[in-house]
């Protein structure tokens, strides 16, 4: 019989210097172990299963380091024969471990989706209900990341029906949270809030792991930020940041960026520097993601549109990849442009649109559109004379109370008439 333990040691020592040889040895162990599990003593079968599990994980790590997504997919498929002869809990843990390796492989989403669909079907055929639900939850999250909202929502609806029947609060919390994120992605904020409330309700009846609690707090902050309640949003983001930082989770950086965003949106850009000096945030202070928010804060503090646009160009990846930051910065840019336009046109009664456009460093058409929007919103009073290419600015009209007084008088007369009518009815 082949000594698989010795082969494992040989493969591990060769993995750094000669990964191709290590790969061949791990595959040899899997073949040998598969033969041993079908025959032989019980003790030998148990050892063969343990060696096979180690070889699967090590081979998965090898493919992860080589960024070989297809290799990982093949390994997961290969592992099914091993999973059929192991406990269901161990199977679920092993398949999650192998799937986690995909996170380090760029542009592997489509392969992941295919692998998850295959394994969901396999779990159904093997009647492994909890594994199936875990894989479906993972697939829904992946579809959400790919912005396939309709497919994700269909999957979530089916999952929720099953989970409510089984009353599995932990997975129910995760799925409701996913549902909230999907609805937020498609812009349905009332349903996003309702799903998030359901997630909170389910979480309150169980022990909520730190990573899940952080995800709930993060979504709370995002939804409050959408309502322009940046003070409450900041407190949720701070809770998330503390939670993730205490567990050295790299996603704490995202929560920190949201905290900085809230300070900027609250017109407190000067607080960004002091916030980055606290102990937990200090280790992130020099990262490019944080520097991008610092550049936005400086531009906002100086009310400088040119610097704002430069920051958006220089840190395009850091500021545009996150939809939450992107949407709020778009609103902030719009506000900043409005403030700059107001400052320029206020001293004038008549001003050329071309001049205004030059002062703010924008195209004439964009400025003209923005000015017309501001007039319609009654930010200031004026009219665009497109024939002359000018903006005519008026003083704010004084309110004429005559109409209001007339309406009030008629209301009082109506009451008197009603009173007189009631009295005449009693006399009659």
Q: Are residues 19 and 59 in the same domain?
A: yes
- Please indicate, yes or no, if residue 37 is contained in any of the structural domains: yes
- Please indicate, yes or no, if residue 94 is contained in any of the structural domains: no
Q: Are residues 27 and 72 in the same domain?
A: yes
- Please indicate, yes or no, if residue 417 is contained in any of the structural domains: yes
Residues 6+ apart with CB under 8 A from 415: none
- Please indicate, yes or no, if residue 253 is contained in any of the structural domains: no
Tally the domains of the chain: 3
Q: Are residues 372 and 412 in the same domain?
A: no
Give me 14's structure tokens.
């060769």
Task: Report yes or no: 185 and 150 within 8 Å, Cβ to Cβ.
Answer: no
Q: Are residues 415 and 357 in the same domain?
A: no
Q: Are residues 386 and 407 in the same domain?
A: no
d(CA 56, CA 419): 90
In eight-state DSSP terms, residue 209 is P
- Please indicate, yes or no, if residue 337 is contained in any of the structural domains: no
Q: Are residues 24 and 52 in the same domain?
A: yes
- Please give the pLDDT value at position 36: 52
Q: Are residues 391 and 405 in the same domain?
A: no
Write out pLDDT tens, residues 249-261: 889 999 999 999 9
- Please indicate, yes or no, if residue 367 is contained in any of the structural domains: yes
Domain closes at, from 80, 112, 136:
80
pLDDT tops 80 at residue 169: yes
d(CA 375, CA 394): 11
d(CA 90, CA 88): 5
- Please give the pLDDT value at position 219: 96
In eight-state DSSP terms, residue 67 is T
SS3 content of the chain, % helix, strand, coil (to 5): 75, 5, 20
C-alpha closest to that of 5 among 38, 40, 36, 41: 36
Say what the pTM is.
0.79
What 3-state DSSP class applies to 418? helix
Q: Are residues 420 and 378 in the same domain?
A: no
Domain closes at, from 61, 80, 99:
80
Q: Are residues 33 and 66 in the same domain?
A: yes
User: Which of the four pLDDT bands, split at 50, 70 and 90, describes residue 33?
Assistant: low
Q: Are residues 390 and 404 in the same domain?
A: no
Q: Are residues 390 and 411 in the same domain?
A: no
| Residue 352, CB-side half-sphere exposure with 13 Å CA sphere | 5
User: Which of the four pLDDT bands, split at 50, 70 and 90, describes residue 380?
Assistant: confident
- Please indicate, yes or no, if residue 405 is contained in any of the structural domains: yes
Mean of pLDDT values over 38-55: 67
C-alpha closest to that of 141 among 123, 156, 128: 156
pLDDT tops 60 at residue 1: no
- Please give the pLDDT value at position 88: 65
Mean of pLDDT values over 341-365: 86
Domain closes at, from 62, 80, 98:
80
- Please indicate, yes or no, if residue 423 is contained in any of the structural domains: yes
Residues 6+ apart with CB under 8 A from 283: none
Write out pLDDT tens, residues 286-309: 899 999 999 999 999 888 888 898
**Domain containing residue 411:** 400-427
The mean-pLDDT minimum among 84-98, 233-247, 349-363, 373-387 falls in 84-98
């Amino acid at each position: 019989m082949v000594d698989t333990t010795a082969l494992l040691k040989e493969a591990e020592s060769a993995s750094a210097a000669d990964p191709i040889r290590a790969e061949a040895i791990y595959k040899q162990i899997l073949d040998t172990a598969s033969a041993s599990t079908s025959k032989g003593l019980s003790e030998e079968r148990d050892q063969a299963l343990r060696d096979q599990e180690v070889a699967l994980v090590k081979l998965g790590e090898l493919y992860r380091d080589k960024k070989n997504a297809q290799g990982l997919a093949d390994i997961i498929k290969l592992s099914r024969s091993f999973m059929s002869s192991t406990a269901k809990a161990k199977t679920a843990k092993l398949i999650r471990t192998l799937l986690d390796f995909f996170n380090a492989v760029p542009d592997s989403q489509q392969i992941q989706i295919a692998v998850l669909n295959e394994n969901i079907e396999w779990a159904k055929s093997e009647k492994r209900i909890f594994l199936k639900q875990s894989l479906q939850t993972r697939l829904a999250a992946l579809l959400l990341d790919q912005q396939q909202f309709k497919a994700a929502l269909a999957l979530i609806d089916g999952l929720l029906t099953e989970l409510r029947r089984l009353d599995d609060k932990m997975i129910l919390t995760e799925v409701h949270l996913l549902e909230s994120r999907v609805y937020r992605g498609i812009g349905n904020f009332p349903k996003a809030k309702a799903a998030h409330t359901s997630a909170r309700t389910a979480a309150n009846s169980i022990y909520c792991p730190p990573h899940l609690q952080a995800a709930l707090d993060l979504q709370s902050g995002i939804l409050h930020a959408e309502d322009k309640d940046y003070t409450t949003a900041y407190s949720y983001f701070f809770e998330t940041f503390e939670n993730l930082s205490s567990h050295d989770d790299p996603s704490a950086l995202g929560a920190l960026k949201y905290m900085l965003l809230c300070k900027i949106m609250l017109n407190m850009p000067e607080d960004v520097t002091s916030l980055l000096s606290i102990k937990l945030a200090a280790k992130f202070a020099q990262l490019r993601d944080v520097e991008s928010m610092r550049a936005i804060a400086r531009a906002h503090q100086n009310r400088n549109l040119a610097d704002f646009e430069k920051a958006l160009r220089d840190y395009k990846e850091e500021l545009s990849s996150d939809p939450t930051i992107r949407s709020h910065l778009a609103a902030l840019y719009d506000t900043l442009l409005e403030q700059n336009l107001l400052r320029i046109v206020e001293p004038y009664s008549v001003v050329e649109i071309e001049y205004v456009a030059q002062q703010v460093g924008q195209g004439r058409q964009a400025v003209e559109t923005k000015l017309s929007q501001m007039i319609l919103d009654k930010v200031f009073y004026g009219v665009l004379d497109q024939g002359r290419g000018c903006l005519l600015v008026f003083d704010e009209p004084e309110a004429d109370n005559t109409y209001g007084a007339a309406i009030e008088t008629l209301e009082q007369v109506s009451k008197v008439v009603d009173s007189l009518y009631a009295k005449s009815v009693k006399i009659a």
